[in-house]
Structure 1
Amino acid sequence: MSRIDRYVLSQLLILFGFFSLVLVAVFWINRAVVLFDRLISDGQSALVFLEFTALGLPKLITTVLPISAFAATVYVTNRLNNESELTVMQATGSSPYRLARPVLAFGVIVFLMSSTLQHVLLPLALGQLSEREAEISQNATSRLLTEGAFLHPSSAVTFYAGEISEDGVLRDVFLSDGRKPEEGVIYTAAEAYLIRNQDLTTLIMLDGMAQRLSNESNRLATANFQDFSFDISSLVRNDASPIQIARNMTTPELMMSYKDLSKDTGQSAGHLAEEFHSRFAEPLFCIVAAMIGFTTLLIGGYSRFGVWREVVIAFGLLLLINGARSTMQNPVRSDANLWPLLYLPVIFGTLLAFAMLWYVARPRWRRRNAAPIAEAPA
């Protein structure tokens, strides 16, 4: 690689790091606000919030990489053009293909970064995140021990504890159980305790009353009790127990028969094929994003009015290609044999970028096809 290529590549990588940092920070703040509110309201600590945030970063970075690659390419190309560096390179005999070489190398570097995330780091992070979410869902403390708030461990159950002492005693307890359609039961107690024994969780209520309303006869029966035990294992157990799904598996684990994977994951062959091939198609989109940004600005050339028109066109092309990627997912999920459709947007973007390079590399052809200026009559 020549010195000019290293210079352009270094500029691209520096701006790429800057844009990636800014975009990750912006998206992270938006996501962290919602995540922080949800976890803290469930009684989780700040360490759990930091853990969930760290496990969500690979997905966030994967989303940001193509945008950062495009933004860095557009910014560097515009600066090289404004400072006449591109003009000097072209005057020394550098063709558009030669100028695109460092941009292509930059796209390949971003492609390798995205591939590492897609094939290894992202599945591992999502798998660990699913396990931690399951653990928190199974934790009775996080589901029930929030004082002064009406909680809903399930759609038909409401729980309230007016006060929770330092030794774990629940005071002024209210529990409404409407899981049975034929009757509803309300328990109130002055004190209660949570007892956990392996997979069983029991709520021991002291000095309380049970009110049972029959929906068929519309009769209310009440009973006072000194102590009463209520099995709440079904309430604190995670209803959606973590199972092995395709997005939590590394790419080597997906390299087996779709029929066997469907049995293990419960997902269709189309979903498995879409997940597997998307991990190759999405990193390739990083190369396309960089090349589209460079070639579109190269066609525009220098203008005193700036390159906003070319930037808008390049961004529109990028949205078009990305929209096509999303459109191709549903057919593949319906039929696994249609997996080549996932690569069509990348192929189209690549052909479009090289077509624009070919167009820029032939100025005589451009002048020959330009409309001639008619001379004014004497």
Structure 2
Amino acid sequence: MRQATSYMARQIATVTLFATVVLCVAVLLVQSVRLVDLIVNRGLGIAQFGYMASLMVPRFVALVMPIALFGATLFTYNRMINDSELVVLRSAGLSTWALSRPAFLVGLGASLVCFVLTLYLMPLSAKEMRFHLEDTRSQWGAALLQEGKFTTVGENATIFVRERSPGGELQGILYNVDAPDQDSFTVIAERGAVVETDEGPRIVVVNGTRQSFSDRKMHLVRFDRSTIDLGGNREAAENYWDQPEERFLPRLLNPGTSDPNDVYYRDKLIAEGHGRLILPLLPLSYAAVALVFLLRAQFSRRGNLTGLLMAVGVMTAILVGHLSLLNAAGRQPELLPMLWANALVPFIVSTLILYKPRRHRRRKPPAVDGGYEAPQGHPAE
């Protein structure tokens, strides 16, 4: 029995790992398109790109691993049914519960991995991703300004550099700020250079003018030396409000009242915290659903296509219900019990069905007038 359990668990785990890697690579290729701008326009190196792409992996693994486990369970058990391996194991005395044990063991391991991802690695990587992305945009956007092109810096600023010398000196600088919440102005300077300060990247400009318009008048200020702030303020980045995906579980379930944003988004933060706890339970629910439709189905040499499609349909309904309820619970906290029920009820019901002993009904011979009906091909004597 141990050898059979080990064999089946190894098969399921191998397929799950392979499917998880394939799905993660596919999703990563799609999501990393937004980082291509940093390579093409900002000069981001391949090493930095690879590091930033790796920070997306924990979230993708937590999302695709339950689906990969479901597919691996369907694939492994359906193959063993078609190869009559399960028939042999049943003949050896293994019950339905014993046959389902390998899938539950792999599902438990997947749940533990998802717990580590959702409770620790996901918020850690999300926070690191934000700071690294801001520093990269600020540093590379300032240091690699393209000659003869207008470059957007921040949300409201645009900078133009006519020429850049090999030593890093900038010639012909135009810097314009057009913000609705502050005075707009334009700086024109003969030359300048990018410097890195404790507050972020700055451009020191020489021999220029600062033009602004207020009170229906044009104001012109000439200067010999000035500094342009490119918006890469590190202190402001540190004071940035942490997004839900960047927070650990205690700060999600208990946001506090010190920050107005925490009060305003309280329901969303709490819903995100419950979602972090519920997501690792989905592998067990998916595995239980797959086992019910495979191990409780009647054996047929024509296959069990109907059972496979029904299992996929139930799994899809659980996934869609989880995503929909998680989004709705951020606005209506009273939906949180339904979010938990969506993940736990399928597992509980499926487990009870698997644990219930199978009852075989004896088929009654067809009643024939005059007594015994001879099998076809063998005439009655």
TM-score by length of structure 1 reads 0.81
Q: Distance in 2 between matches of 1:115 and 1:202?
A: 43
Partner of 1:70: 70
Quick one: which of 214, 232, 237 aligns to 2:233? 237
CA spacing shift, 1:323–1:231, aligned 2, 3 Å? same
Q: Distance in 1 between matches of 2:242 and 2:165?
A: 40
Q: Aligned with 1:236: secondary structure?
A: coil
Supply the AA of the counterpart residue of 1:67.
Answer: I
Partner of 1:247: 245
Using the aligned pairs only, state the percent identity.
21
Partner of 2:378: none
Q: Aligned with 1:75: secondary structure?
A: helix
Q: Aligned with 1:167: secondary structure?
A: coil
Equivalent pairs counted in the alignment come to 365
Q: Distance in 2 between matches of 1:120 and 1:309?
A: 40
Q: Distance in 1 between matches of 2:240 and 2:183?
A: 32
Q: Aligned with 1:193: secondary structure?
A: strand
After superposition, give the CA deviation of every residue in 1:238-263 in whole Å (9 maximum; x if it has no partner).
66643445533434x44975536867
Partner of 1:11: 11
How far apart are residue 282 of structure 1 and its match?
0.7
CA spacing shift, 1:28–1:62, aligned 2, 3 Å? same
Is residue 161–residue 171 contact of structure 2 (8 Å, CA) maintained in 1?
A: yes
Q: Structure 1 stretches of 5 or more lacking a match? A: none
Root mean square deviation of aligned Cα: 3.6
How far apart are residue 142 of structure 1 and its match?
2.6
Q: Aligned with 2:168: secondary structure?
A: coil
Supply the AA of the counterpart residue of 1:47.
Answer: A
Matches within 5 A, 1:40-59: 40-59=40-59
Partner of 2:2: 2
CA spacing shift, 1:159–1:306, aligned 2, 3 Å? farther
Matches within 5 A, 1:69-218: 69-137=69-137, 139-143=138-142, 145-148=144-147, 149-179=149-179, 185-199=185-199, 202-206=202-206, 214=213, 217=216
Q: Structure 2 stretches of 5 or more lacking a match? A: 369-381
Q: Aligned with 2:361: secondary structure?
A: helix
Q: Aligned with 2:158: secondary structure?
A: strand
Q: Distance in 1 between matches of 2:193 and 2:241?
A: 32
CA spacing shift, 1:124–1:267, aligned 2, 3 Å? farther
After superposition, give the CA deviation of every residue in 1:294-335 in whole Å (9 maximum; x if it has no partner).
222334444454444332221111110111112322453345
Q: Aligned with 1:194: secondary structure?
A: strand
Supply the AA of the counterpart residue of 2:233.
Answer: R
Q: Distance in 1 between matches of 2:219 and 2:260?
A: 49
Q: Distance in 1 between matches of 2:223 and 2:124?
A: 50
- Structure (1 or 2) with the greater helix fraction: 1
CA spacing shift, 1:258–1:174, aligned 2, 3 Å? closer
Q: Distance in 1 between matches of 2:114 and 2:11?
A: 20
After superposition, give the CA deviation of every residue in 1:99-144 in whole Å (9 maximum; x if it has no partner).
212211121111111112112222222222233234335x354346
Quick one: which of 308, 312, 317 aligns to 1:320? 317
Q: Distance in 2 between matches of 1:19 and 1:68?
A: 5
Is residue 200–residue 233 contact of structure 2 (8 Å, CA) maintained in 1?
A: no
Q: Aligned with 2:44: secondary structure?
A: coil
Matches within 5 A, 1:261-340: 265=262, 268-334=265-331, 336=333, 339-340=336-337
After superposition, give the CA deviation of every residue in 1:42-81 in whole Å (9 maximum; x if it has no partner).
2332222122122221111111111110111011011101
Supply the AA of the counterpart residue of 2:152.
Answer: H
Q: Distance in 2 between matches of 1:58 and 1:314?
A: 27
Q: Aligned with 1:44: secondary structure?
A: coil
Q: Distance in 1 between matches of 2:361 and 2:208?
A: 93
Is residue 205–residue 228 contact of structure 2 (8 Å, CA) maintained in 1?
A: no
